[in-house]
Amino acid sequence: MEQRHVISVLVENKPGVLARVAGMFSGRAFNIHSLAVAPTMDSKLSRMTIVTHGSEQLIEQILKQLRKLINVLKVQDLTEGEFVEREMALIRVKAPSARRTEILRINEVFRGKVIDMGRDNLTLEVTGSQSKIQGLLDLLAPFGIQELIRTGAVAIPRAKKS
Amino acid sequence: MTNAIKCTGAEALLMALKEEGVEAIFGYPGGAVIDIFDAMVRQFRDVFKFILVRHEQAAVHAADGYARATGKPGVCLVTSGPGGTNTVTGLATAFMDSIPVVVFTGQVPTPLIGNDAFQEADIVGITRPCTKHNYLVASVDELAQTVKEAFYIATSGRPGPVLVDLPKDVLQSKMQFHYPKEVSIPTYKPVVKPHAPSLKRAADLLMRSHKPVVYAGGGVITAGAHEELRKLAEMMSLPVTMTLMGLGGFPGTHPLSLGMLGMHGTYRANMAVSHADLLLAVGARFDDRVTGKVEDFAPHAKIIHIDIDPTSIQKNIRVDVPIVGDAKEALSLLIEILAADRRQQRKDKRLQEWHAQLTVWRNEQRLRFDRTAAVIKPQYVIEKLYEMTCGNAIISTEVGQNQMWAAQYYLFDRPRTFLTSGGLGTMGYGFPAAIGAQVAFPNATVIDIAGDGSIQMNIQELATVMQYKLPVKIAILNNGYLGMVRQWQERFYDNVYAHTDIMCAPDFVKLADAYGALGLRATEKQEVEDIIAKALSHKGPVIMDFQVDREEGVYPMVPAGAAITNMILV
C-alpha cells in the first residue's frame, strides 16, 4: 500500500550533495513530493526533509539507497515515530476592498499573517501542516489566488517523554 | 607536519599513487593533464608502467580488466572534456559489476570552471550516477586526502569506480606533500561483520533443508570467498549454481557445480532453483537476467541472502534471512556453526533424493550443439580453446552470443579468470579488459572471445598491444551478424533481421597484418585446432577469425520476463 513518508536526512554541507540525493531519486524512479534543505547548527552539515510516497518495500529501498550515498551521515524515517511537521505558504490573493474583511477573517482563523498589501490584493503567510494549508487554499480559491509559493515540509521528531 | 615534501599538485598525485602501491596506469594525455604526464616521464619513469591506449574508453576497461584479474584497483589518467566523457561507458561498466577503478581526469583551471572553456565538461556531474563516488579537487590542499579517500572508497565495502577531477591550476600549485596513513570517513562505514543470530538461523535452515541450492554471484570473487564457498558446499553436499559474474567463484568442473543459471543458464541449474526448498544467495543481486519472472523465481524456497550491500537485499525479491556483511566472513562463520552441529552429519541421507533428481535433470538436457555439422560451430571453437589451454587461460569476452557461449563452454575453476561485462553488457569491453589482464600477468595466456560486431568497437587497441608487446589473443566468432539481437529477431520478431547483418566488415586477417599482428582464419572445422595451436604458440598478439555458422543460437534460452523453467531448448 502506498504511504506518505517524511524522511529526515543529515548530509555533509558540501557542493553537489543535493544533486547526489536528487539524482538518486530520479535515476531510480523514486518520487519526491517535497524537499527542504538548509544548514544545521553545525555549519558543516545540512538537514534535508524529504516527503515521498511508496510501498513499504520501496521506502525501505529509498532509505537504504540514501544511506549508501557517501555524503549522507544519517537517515531517519520520521513516519515510524511521532513527529511534528510544518510547511509555509506565501499566498497572493485577489482582494478588492469590498471583500478584504472576509479574507482577513479567514486568514485569522488559520493564524496567517498579512505580509504585503496591494491596492486590490493581499499577500498572506501561513504555516502549518499540509492539510491546514490546503484548507486555507480551498477557502481562498473562490477569491482568486494570483500566486502561490510553498516551501515543502520541514519536520522534527517529538521530544521523548521522560 | 613532519617529513612533508615540497612539490606541485601533479607530483603529489604521482607520489600518492606510489604510496597506494599503484604499478600500472592506463590513460591518454591532453592539455589539462600535461603536467602529470611531464612529471611521470621526468621523475617517475621507473615507478609506473604507463599504458597509452588509443581511446579513453579502453583505458577504463583495461584498468577494470586489471582490477578483475588481480583484485587490486585499476587506475586511469585522462584529460578534461572529451577525455573524461569517453570514460563514461567504462565507469558505468565497472559500476554495474562492482569493480574498483580510480579514474583521474584533468579539468580546466578553477577560475574557468563554468565558463564553457575549451575542453571543459562537468565530469563530476556527468559521472555522478555511474560512479560509487566522485570528487572535484578544488584546492591543492585537499589533493592527498582526496586520493586516499578515493582508493579507500573504491576498494572497500561493495567496491566500485571513483572519479577524481583535477583542475590544471591545482596540478600546477605548489604544496607540502604528506600522505595520510589512515582514512576515516564519518559518513561511510560499510558493514562487514555479519549479524550472528541471522547466521544461526541460516545454519539451521541449511541443516533442515532437503533441496538446497547455493546461488553464487560476483561477490564471492570480490570477497575472495571462493575457498569458503567450496568448503561449505563440500561439507554440506550443496549444489552450487553461479551467475555470469560468479563463474570461477566455484570450480566449474566440480561435481557439485550446476553451471550458470538464468536466461542462458543450464537446464539443471534453472530446474534446481525452481524446485529448491532453500536458496542460499551469496554476493548476488537477483538480476532480471537471473530471475526471469520474479514471482516464479525459486517459488518453493526459503531464501538466505548474504550481501555486503544492504540495497541489494529485498530489492527485487523477498528474502527470509537477510545477512549484510562480507561474504568471506559470513561463509566462514557459517562453516563454524555448522561444523559444531552434529545434525549436519545426517546430510547424506537427507539429500540423496535431491542429488538423484539433479542427476536426472543433467542427463535429460545437457548443453549441446550439432557436433556432426560440417560448418564451424561457435561452441566447438570455445570447447577447443578450453581443451587446448587446459582451462588455464584468462578469458575476457565481448557481449552477446560470444559471451554466453564462453560462459557455457569454457569451465572456470579459478576466480578472476573470467572477465566479462555482466551488468552493463558493454560491447567493446573484452579486448581492452584483456589488455589490462595481460599487463598484470605478462606470461599468462589471455584470450578475448569476441564477436565480429563487438570487436570493432575497440579495435583501435591493436596499436596498444603492438606498442607494449602484449600477446593478447583475440578469437572472433565471426557470423556476420550482431548475433544475439539476430537471435531475438529470429525468435520474437518474425525473422526480420532489422540492421543486424554486418557482413560488410574488414578482412580481420589483413587488419591484424596492417597493425603488425598475426592474423589467422579458419573457414573449415578441421582448421580450428591448427589455428588455435598456432595462435597459442605465437609470441605476439593474434587475431583468430573463425568463420562460424551464421545462424547458430545460444540455448537454453528463457524469453525475457518468463519464468526460468520456461526454457527454449532446441
- Which residue in chain A is spatially nearest to B157 when comparing CA positions? A68
Calculate the average pLDDT of chain A. 96
Evaluate whether residue A7 is within a structural domain. Answer: yes
A65 to B311: CB separation less than 8 angstroms, yes or no: yes
- The reply to whether A162 falls in a domain is no
Same domain, B149 and B124: yes
Closest-CA residue of A relative to B162 is: A70
List CB contacts (< 8 A) between B130 and chain A.
Answer: none
The residues facing A7 across adjacent strands are A50, A77
Say what the pLDDT of residue B5 is.
87
Would B559 be classed as within a structural domain?
A: no
pLDDT of residue B191: 85
**Chain B residues touching A20 at Cβ < 8 A:** 128
Asked if B480 and B425 sit in the same domain, the reply is yes
Does the pLDDT value for residue B348 go beyond 90?
Answer: no
B558 secondary structure, DSSP code = P
What is the structure's pLDDT at B286?
96
Q: What is the pLDDT of residue A155?
A: 96
What does residue B361 show for φ and ψ, rounded to 5 degrees?
-60, -40
- Kindly indicate the confidence band of residue B1, based on its pLDDT and cuts at 50, 70 and 90: very low
With bands split at pLDDT 50, 70 and 90, how would you rate the model's confidence at B349? Answer: confident
Say how far residue A116 (Cα) sits from the centre of its chain.
22
> What is the pLDDT, as a whole number, of residue B344?
67
Q: Which residues of A touch B187 (CB under 8 A)?
A: 11-12, 70-73
Give the model's pLDDT for residue A2. Answer: 87
Q: Which residues of B touch A (CB under 8 A)?
A: 124-125, 128-129, 132-133, 136, 153, 185-188, 309-311, 314-315
Q: Do residues A122 and A94 lie in contact, with contact meaning Cβ atoms separated by under 8 Å?
A: no
pLDDT, tens digit, for every residue of B263-318?
999 999 999 999 999 999 999 999 999 999 999 999 999 999 999 999 999 999 99
| The one catalytic residue among B168, B377, B384, B473 | B168
pLDDT 10s digits, B328-339? 999 999 999 999
Q: Which of B294, B311, B318, B324 would you mutate first to test chain A, the one with the most A CBs within 10 A?
A: B311
- DSSP state at residue B54: S
The residue of chain B with its CA nearest to that of A13 is B187
Domain total in chain B: 3
B478-498: average pLDDT:
97
C-alpha cell at B89: 561507458
pLDDT classification of A162: cutoffs 50, 70, 90: low
Task: Check residue B151 and give its pLDDT.
Answer: 98
Question: Would you say residue B570 lies in a domain?
Answer: no
Domain identity same for A101 and A146:
yes
Of the three residues B364, B388, B422, the one that is the final residue of a domain is B364
How many Å separate Cα B336 from the centre of its chain? 30
Same domain, B457 and B519: yes
* Residue tagged active-site, from B484, B544, B557, B567: B484
Is residue B172 part of the annotated active site? The answer reads no
A57 touches chain B (CB under 8 A): yes
**In a mutagenesis test of the B interface, which of A24, A59, A64 is the best target, namely the one with the most B β-carbons within 10 Å?**
A64
Q: Residues B90, B145: one domain?
A: yes
Residues whose CB is less than 8 angstroms from the CB of residue B396 and which lie 6 or more positions away in sequence, other chains included: B65, B418, B419, B420, B429, B430, B431, B433, B434, B437, B446, B447, B448, B449
Is B125 within 8 Å of A65 when comparing Cβ atoms?
no
Which A residues, 75 through 104, put their C-beta within 8 Å of a C-beta on chain B?
A: none
Catalytic residue, from B6, B118, B314, B510: name it.
B118
Q: What mean pLDDT comes out for the span B187-215?
A: 95
CATH number, domain of A117, equals 3.30.70.1150
What counts of helices (H) and strands (E) characterise chain A? 4, 9
B300 vs B18, B63, B211, B402, B407, CA distance in Å?
Answer: 52, 42, 10, 33, 27
- Binary contact (B124, A16; C-beta < 8 A): yes
Answer yes or no: do B153 and A57 touch at CB < 8 A: no
The predicted model scores a pTM of 0.96
pLDDT in tens, B551-568: 999 999 999 999 999 999
Domain-ending residue, one of A81, A103, A127: A81
3-state secondary structure of B456: helix
The verdict on B148 and B257 lying in the same domain is: no
Q: Please tell me which residue of chain A has the smallest CA distance to B154.
A: A70
Q: Which of A48, A70, A71, A73 to mutate to test the interface with B (most CBs of B within 10 A)?
A: A70
Domain ranges, residue A106: 84-157
Residue B411 CA to residue B55 CA, distance in Å, equals 32
A13 touches chain B (CB under 8 A): no
Q: Please indicate whether residue B118 is annotated as part of the active site.
A: yes
Are B338 and B447 within one domain? no
B93-149 pLDDT, tens digit per residue, is 999 999 999 999 999 999 999 999 999 999 999 999 999 999 999 999 999 999 999
pLDDT of residue A104 exceeding 80: yes
Residue B465, all three cell numbers: 598491444
Q: For chain A, what is the domain count?
A: 2
Mutate which: A13, A68, A71, vs B, most B CBs within 10 A: A68
> d(Cα A107, Cα A126) in Å, to the nearest integer?
8
8 Å CB contact between B210 and B358: no
User: Which residue, of A81, A97, A115, is where some domain finishes?
Assistant: A81
Q: Chain B partners of A65 at a C-beta cutoff of 8 Å?
A: 311
Residue A38 neighbours by CB under 8 Å, 6+ apart: A46, A47
Output the nine-digit C-alpha cell for A128: 502549518
Question: Are B128 and A19 an interchain contact pair (Cβ–Cβ within 8 Å)?
Answer: yes
Task: Specify the residue for cell string 565480429.
Answer: B452
- My answer on whether B400 and B353 are in the same domain is no
Count Cβ neighbours within 10 Å for each residue of B400-412 and write b for 16 or more, e otherwise.
Answer: bbbbbbbbbbbbb
Share of chain B above pLDDT 90, in %: 97
CA–CA separation, B432 and B67 (whole Å): 12
> How far B372 CA sits from the closest chain A CA (Å)?
49
Distance CA A95, CA B138 (A): 51
| Residue pair B28/B59 in contact by the 8 Å Cβ criterion | yes
Q: What is the per-residue pLDDT across B159-175, written as a single tens digit (0 to 9) for each?
A: 999 999 999 999 999 99
- Average pLDDT along chain B: 96
Same-domain status, B20 and B127: yes
Alpha helices in B79-225 (DSSP H): 82-85, 88-96, 123-127, 143-155, 168-172, 196-208, 218-222
Domain termination site, one of A81, A112, A141: A81
B153 contact residues in A (CB cutoff 8 A): 70
Chain B residues touching residue A11 (CB < 8 angstroms): 187
Both B337 and B396 in a single domain? Answer: no
Asked if A70's CB is within 8 angstroms of B132's CB, the reply is yes
DSSP state of B459: G
Q: B411 and B515: one domain?
A: yes
Does residue A29 sit at the B interface (CB-CB below 8 Å)? Answer: no
pLDDT in tens, B220-234: 999 999 999 999 999
B chain contacts of residue A73, beta-carbon cutoff 8 Å: 186-187
**DSSP secondary structure string, B153-166?**
HHHSSS---EEEEE
Rounded distance between C-alpha atoms, residue B481 and residue A25, angstroms = 38
Contact A70 B186 (CB under 8 A): no
Q: Is residue B562 part of a domain?
A: no
User: CA-CA distance, B548 to B360, in Å (whole number)?
Assistant: 32
- For residue B302, give the CATH number of its domain: 3.40.50.1220
Q: Could you tell me if A73 and A97 lie in one domain?
A: no
CB distance A72–B187 less than 8 Å? yes
Residue A73 within any structural domain of the chain: yes
* CATH code (residue B44): 3.40.50.970
For cell 504585503, name the residue. A116
* Residues of the domain holding B491: 378-547
B56 is catalytic: yes
pLDDT of B408 strictly over 70: yes
